[in-house]
Amino acid sequence: MGRKKLEIKRIENKSSRQVTFSKRRNGLIEKARQLSVLCDASVALLVVSASGKLYSFSSGDNLVKILDRYGKQHDDDLKALERQSNPLNCGSHHELLELVESKLEESNVDNVSVGSLVQLEEQLENALSVTRARKTELMLKLVENLKEKEKLLEEENHVLASQMEKNNLVRAEADNMEVSPGQISDINLPVTLPLLN
């Protein structure tokens, strides 16, 4: 018999949540250890529980050394990104396209070197990647805003539904109270006949 598929959401029961945290944390640490042994990789793992308790694992190298190496690599990546975006700071995308067009005009083609064309190509690629990143960022913000609006509308819908339900109950109770004992004969009630054997 297979395992039951677990829906990934917050576990409401506190003791069940703690048991799951302990089991999954231990499983994660075991997988990190296996990865370091099988692939000869430096692995650092930090887990912070909901109560703020810190759990860590490091393979081979000291945890601090691995984190320092990560920090240096991250700084280098940021510096490289800044260097790539520096040519874009000189002007807008429109100005960059005008520069490309002016260099590629028929009368000017013979004077253009391969190096300047390569540099222009790199600038265009950088401009394109920056534009795509900005577009993705804007789309993600739009999706986030739409999700928030959806959540608010669902809450409002829930409130309105409960108000309608209360109004219907009040109306039904009022309708039942308005019927006087003399009017009961005017209401068509279903008649049940006894069964004859």
Is residue 118 in a domain?
A: no
Domain of residue 45, residue span? 14-84
23 lies in some domain: yes
40-87 pLDDT tens trace: 888 999 898 888 898 889 987 788 888 888 888 877 777 766 666 555
Is 187 inside any structural domain? Answer: no
- Does residue 62 sit within a domain? yes
Question: Is 29 contained in some domain?
Answer: yes
Q: Is pTM beyond 0.85 here?
A: no
**Domain total for the chain?**
1
Q: Rounded to an integer, what distance in angstroms lies between the CA atom of residue 126 and that of residue 119?
A: 10
178, part of any domain: no
CA–CA gap between residue 196 and residue 84 (Å, rounded): 95
- The CATH code of the domain that includes 65 is 3.40.1810.10
Q: Give pLDDT tens digits for 74-118.
A: 777 777 666 665 554 445 667 777 776 766 665 566 666 777 778
Residue with tokens 């940021």: 78
- Kindly state whether residue 65 falls inside one of the protein's structural domains: yes
In a domain? residue 50:
yes
